[in-house]
Structure 1
Amino acid sequence: MNNTNQIHISLLVTSDVHGYIFPTNYIDHTERHLGLAKIATIVKQKRKQGHVLLMDNGDLIQGSPLTFYHAKYKANTPNPMIKIANQLNYRASVFGNHEFNYGLDYLQSVMNESNFPWLSATVLDEQGEPAFGKPYIIENIDGVKVAILGITTHYIPNWEDPKNIKGLTFSDALETTKTWVNKIRTNEQPDVLVVSYHGGFERDLETGEPTEELTGENQGYQICMEIEGIDVLLTGHQHRSIADYLNNVAVVQPSNNGQLLGEVKLSLQKNEDKWELKQCQPALISVDEEIQADPEVLLLAKEYEEQTQAWLDTPIGEIDRDMLITDPFQTRLQDSPLIEFINSVQMDVAGVTISNTSLFNNTSPGFKQKVTMRDIVSNYVYPNTLKVIRITGKDIKDALEKSATYFEIDESGEISVNPAYVEPKPQHYNYDMWEGIEYELKISNPVGERVTMLHYQGQPIDYKAEYDVVMNNYRAGGGGNFHMFQGNPVVKDIPTDMTELIANYIMKQGKINATCNQNWKITK
C-alpha cells in the first residue's frame, strides 16, 4: 500500500498490436495467446492492485484481417481498435509507421474517435510544427507529475505511399527527442520523464555494436546514450522482447500482436514537497494460456470479428493443382508456383514484363486448390500497393546482389540464411524473387559478386538500358535498404491493395494454372 510519502505506479505499454483483439490465428482458427482481449484481463488485474498508466506505442490500427476488412469495407463505422482502447482507458498512443497505411482521412477518423491524444514530436506539418497537436502529455497521479513524449521513427517516407503522408514531414528522432526532453525538463519539471518511441535499437544494448545498417530507422541506443533526463524509454517497431536498462534508462519493448505487455514499475519517495524517483523496474508480462480473454472486450469486437470471418471464408476461385508452401527456405532457394503467380498478377495489372516480390514470412501457407479470401490474406500480409518504376539494368543487378546477401555458406558448407535477416528482427520480406528476367546467384562468391548470370529475353541484360519494373510500394521507395530504387521515375502508380488485386485476378480467371518456369536459381 502507498503511504503519503511513497507511491508506486505501474506504467503499462502495448506496442505493435497490429489489429489483434481476439486470441485467434486467422489462417486456421486455432487459438493463440495474444491480442487486446487477453491484454485487457491483465490491465484490469493491475488496476485492482494500484495506480496504472496505460500507453500504446504505435502500430495499433493495422495488421490483421479484422483491421484490413474494417479499413476497406466498414470505414464509416466505429473503429474496433479504438472502441477497445477507449474502453481500457489508454492515456495516449504514439503514431507508428503503419498508422499511415490507410491514408490520412482514415487516420483522422481514428483520432476523432479516440478519447485519448495521439502523440508525436517528429510528425510535422508544412510549417514544421507537430502535425496532430500534442507532442507530449502530462499525467498527474496523486501529485506525481509524469511527462510522456511521443516520438515516431522518421524513416516513414522510405516506405509509405506518398499520398498517405501528403503535407507531412518527419524530423530526425534523435535530434527531436533532445530538443523536446530539454523543453519538458525546463518548462514542466516532471517527476518522471518517459519517452515513448515507435522505433527500436540499431545497436546491441550491451556492446554498442551495430546489429543492422545504421540508417536512422532505429535510434533507441543513441537516445539512451546521448540524451540526459530520460527515465524510461518505451520502444517498439522491431517486434522484439526487451526489458532492460541502458545507461540507467529503463527500457521495454513488448513484442507484437499483444503477445506481451510491457511494464515499468515506478517507485517514488516524497522529500519535503518534491517527489523523488527511487526505482524504475522494467518487465514483460507474458500473455499465456493461463490468461482468459476479457468477455467485455470480446463483446465489443464480436460483430466486427464475425463479419471478418465470413469475409475470409468467401470462395474466390480454384487452382488446377496447388501452390502450397511446405518449406519456406526451399521456396526462397528455387522458383515456385506461388512466387511465380504473385509476380504474374503484378505484371498483368501493371502491363510490364518484369516483376519482383517476396515470401514475407515463414508462416505463409501458400494456396490450396480451393482459394478463399482467408488464403489470400494469409499469404499477402501487408497492405501494399504497386508501383512501376523505371530503372537501369545496373539497378537490377545491384538489387539482386542486395537480395543475395540473404544467404550465406554455413560451417558445414551448405547454403543457409544470413543471421542478419533473422536477428534481432526477422526480415525475410527483404529478399526478393524476380520474374521476367533469368538469373543465377552463386552464394560462395564474395558479397557484391554473386550474380553470375543475368539475362532479359534471352540476352545479357544491358546495364545502361532502362527497364520498367513492377514491385510493391515499400520496395519501390527503397524500403529494406534497396537504395538503388530510390528516386527513380514512377511510370505507374497502382493504388489498389495487393490482396484485392490477387482476389480480382483469381475471380476473373476462375481457374488458375499453377506454373513454374524456373527462370532463376541459387547455387553454392
Structure 2
Amino acid sequence: MKLVILHSSDTHGFLMPTDYQDKNKYEAPFSLSRVSSLIKSEKEKYGAENVLVTDSGDCLQGSPLASYCHTLPEEKGLQAFTDAYNEVGYDARVLGNHDFNYGLDYLSYYVDNNKAPFINDNVLDAETNTPFLGQEYKVIEKAGIKIGVMGITTQYISHWEPEEHIKGLKFVSGYEALSKLAEKLRPQVDVLVALYHGGFESDPVSGEATEPHTGENEGYKILTQIPEIDAFLTGHQHRRLNLVQNNTAIVQPGYRGEAVAKVIIDFDKISDGNVKINDMTTELVDTKDYAPDPKIEAIVKELDKKTQSWLDQPIAHMSAPAPIENAIEGRIKGAPFVNLIQQMQLWFTNADISATAIMSETAKGFSKNVTMREVLLNYPYANQLCIVDISGKDLKEIIEYACGFLEKDKDDNIKFINRWITPKPMLYHYDMFYPVQYEADLSKPVGHRLTKLQLHGKDIDDDKMYRLAVNNYRALGGGFYPGYSMDKIEKTFDQDYVQMFGEYLTQNDVVVDTKPNFKFY
C-alpha cells in the first residue's frame, strides 16, 4: 500500500507563470497555477484518498501581485489571493516568516479564510503560551492510515519583523516544540509528519555546518534528535532537496512553485493493527511540464490584470538612468543604482553612512522614467529603513564581515565564496557601504582585510559613534553580521521602500553619484 505526500513551499505569491519583467509573457516555468495542475494530476493518478497535500509557507509576500493585493481592501485583494491557494486543495499548512511582513490583521484574515488548517507549534500567544494562530497538530486519515501532522516556522522572525507586526507573540525553538509533541503524538498515529518553514544549519548527510548555528534553521538538529518523525517537509532556504536520511524522508521544493516535492511511503498493515513502513522514496517534480490550472487563472485573472496596470504607473522621472549592468559585477565594482539607494537612505535619515545590498539577481536598476514595476523588480522586499548607532569599531567589523564574502580564484579574479551561492543563493546578505571610502586586500585573512576606511577624508575612529542607515532586516540581525543589535536602533521609519523611492525621486532633482567608493584587490 502507498501513501503519497505532495509538498509545496515558498511560492511567494507567484500565482501566475510570470515574473512580471515583461507584461506580455506568461510562460515562466513556475507558479501556483502550475503547482495546482501537478497536484490534481497526481491525485488522479494515485487517488485523492491516498494523497496528502501540504505547504510550508511564505505565500503572502514576494511577487508584484502580492504587493498589489496589499494595497487593496482585504476583501477585494486578499480574498481572491486566498481563493487561489484554496483551489489547490491543501490538507495542512504552516506559516512562513514573510507571511508576517504585512502585520497580524492581514495575516489573520488570510488564515481565517483558508480552507486548510494551519498547524502551529512554536508561534505562541505571549500571555497564554498557546498557539497564536492555527492548531497544535492535525490527525488526517489518508490511504486508510492515521497521519499526524505537526508544524513549525523559523523562530528567527522576532529578529526580522518590527514590533508592531508581531506584538503579543512569542517565538520558541521549533526543535523544542517538536521534541515534546512528537513523543506525545507518535503513539496515536501510523505516520508522523513535520512541516517546517525552516531549513538546515548543517548538511543533512555529512553534518558539516553550512551556516552559523543561530537558531534560524534547526533542520539538522530536528532530523538527528527527533527520531519519531517519518517525513520532514521543509522550506525557507529555497533549496531543492529530496533524500531519505536517518529513516526520515526529507524534501524542500525550491522557490516560486518551480517544483512539488513528492514522498511515497510504501507500507503494510500488520495483524496487530499497526503499520509497518517498508520503504520511502522522494523526488522533486518540476512544474514546468504542467499547464497552468485554468481554475486558478480564472480566480486570479482580474487581479493579475490590475496588477499589470498598477506596475506600469509612473513613479518619477530622472534626468539620467541609474542602471545595474550585472548584479554580481555591481556588488564587486559598484553600480549607479546601488548609489541611488544609498543616497536615498542618507536623505531620509541624515545619517553619516549608508549600507545596502542588491536584492535581486535580475535587478536592472532604473530607467529615466521610473515605474512601479522597476521599483518592485529591483527591491522586492517589504523592508523598512532604520538608523543604527554604532561605534567605529562596530563599523569596521561589519565591513570586514562583508569583505569576507569575497575571494580570488586561481586566475586572480574576484568572486563570491561558494557558501553564499550554494546550497541557497544568499547574496542579498552582501552589503556595500557609502559614502565611506574603503579598500580591502583579499589575500589577507577574513576579518583583517581592510587597508583603508575613511569618511570625508578622515580615518574611521574606533571610539567615535556613527549613525548608519540600513534596512530593518539587517539592523535586526539578518545575514549573521556582527555589530548589530536591537538596542542600537535609534529609529525605524514607517514607509516601506516603494513609498520611499516615490517620495525621494519626486521631491528631489536626483543626481546619482556614479563614482566607485570601494575597491578590492
**Do they fold alike, i.e. is TM over 0.5?**
yes
Work out the CA distance in 2 between the residues paired with 1:450 and 1:124: 43
Q: Does 1:342 align with 2:336?
A: no
Aligned to 2:268: 269
Q: Does 1:521 align with 2:518?
A: yes
- Deviation for aligned residue 1:243: 0.8
Work out the CA distance in 1 between the residues paired with 2:387 and 2:216: 25
Aligned to 1:34: 30
Q: Does 1:116 align with 2:110?
A: no
Aligned to 2:5: 11
Work out the CA distance in 2 between the residues paired with 1:483 and 1:153: 20
Work out the CA distance in 1 between the residues paired with 2:218 and 2:479: 16
Q: Which is worse superposed, 414-423 or 274-283?
A: 274-283
Aligned to 1:203: 202
Work out the CA distance in 1 between the residues paired with 2:87 and 2:392: 54
Relative to structure 1, is the Cα distance of residues 12 and 281 closer, same or farther in structure 2, using a 3 angstrom cutoff?
same
Aligned to 1:135: 136
3-state DSSP class of the match of 2:315? strand
On the 8 A contact 1:231/1:280 being kept in 2, the answer is no
Q: Does 1:95 align with 2:95?
A: yes
Q: Which is worse superposed, 120-129 or 57-66?
A: 120-129
On the 8 A contact 2:51/2:143 being kept in 1, the answer is no
On the 8 A contact 1:318/1:512 being kept in 2, the answer is no
3-state DSSP class of the match of 2:487? coil
Q: What do residues 278-321 of structure 1 show as CA deviations (whole Å, max 9, x unaligned)?
A: 33221111112x32111111010111111111010111222323
- Deviation for aligned residue 1:166: 1.2
1:513 partner amino acid: V
2:87 partner amino acid: Q
Work out the CA distance in 1 between the residues paired with 2:245 and 2:154: 19
On the 8 A contact 1:421/1:427 being kept in 2, the answer is yes
Q: Does 1:373 align with 2:377?
A: no
- Deviation for aligned residue 1:486: 1.0
Aligned to 2:86: 86
Q: Does 1:472 align with 2:466?
A: no
Relative to structure 1, is the Cα distance of residues 376 and 443 closer, same or farther in structure 2, using a 3 angstrom cutoff?
same
Work out the CA distance in 2 between the residues paired with 1:259 and 1:92: 20
- Deviation for aligned residue 1:200: 0.9
- Deviation for aligned residue 1:334: 2.4
Work out the CA distance in 1 between the residues paired with 2:408 and 2:416: 8
Relative to structure 1, is the Cα distance of residues 216 and 265 closer, same or farther in structure 2, using a 3 angstrom cutoff?
same
3-state DSSP class of the match of 2:189? coil
Q: What do residues 2-21 of structure 1 show as CA deviations (whole Å, max 9, x unaligned)?
A: xxxx4x22211110010011
Aligned to 2:170: 169
Aligned to 1:21: 15
3-state DSSP class of the match of 1:485? coil
Work out the CA distance in 1 between the residues paired with 2:261 and 2:81: 19
Q: Which is worse superposed, 76-85 or 160-169?
A: 76-85
1:430 partner amino acid: H
On the 8 A contact 1:367/1:375 being kept in 2, the answer is yes
What stretches of structure 1 move > 6 A for 4+ residues in a row? none
Within a 5 Å distance, the mapping from 1:212-251 to structure 2 comes to 212-251=211-250
- Deviation for aligned residue 1:386: 0.9
Work out the CA distance in 2 between the residues paired with 1:180 and 1:420: 33
3-state DSSP class of the match of 2:512? coil
Aligned to 1:424: 423
Work out the CA distance in 1 between the residues paired with 2:499 and 2:441: 36
Let me know the Cα RMSD of the aligned residues: 1.6
3-state DSSP class of the match of 2:467? strand
Q: What do residues 330-381 of structure 1 show as CA deviations (whole Å, max 9, x unaligned)?
A: 2112232111111111111223232111012321111122211101101001
Aligned to 1:284: 284
Q: Does 1:183 align with 2:198?
A: no
- Deviation for aligned residue 1:234: 0.3
Work out the CA distance in 2 between the residues paired with 1:483 and 1:515: 28
Relative to structure 1, is the Cα distance of residues 342 and 108 closer, same or farther in structure 2, using a 3 angstrom cutoff?
same
Q: Which is worse superposed, 476-485 or 314-323?
A: 314-323
Work out the CA distance in 2 between the residues paired with 1:76 and 1:494: 28
Work out the CA distance in 2 between the residues paired with 1:142 and 1:284: 21
- Deviation for aligned residue 1:181: 0.4
Q: What do residues 431-459 of structure 1 show as CA deviations (whole Å, max 9, x unaligned)?
A: 11112322222222211111111122321
Which one of the candidate residues 35, 39, 45 is aligned to 2:41? 45
3-state DSSP class of the match of 1:389? strand
Unaligned runs of 5+ in 1: 1-5
Aligned to 1:333: 332
Aligned to 1:154: 155
Q: What do residues 40-90 of structure 1 show as CA deviations (whole Å, max 9, x unaligned)?
A: 111111121212211111111111111111113343424333211222221
2:392 partner amino acid: G
- Deviation for aligned residue 1:489: 3.0
- Deviation for aligned residue 1:95: 1.2
TM-score by structure 2 length? Answer: 0.95
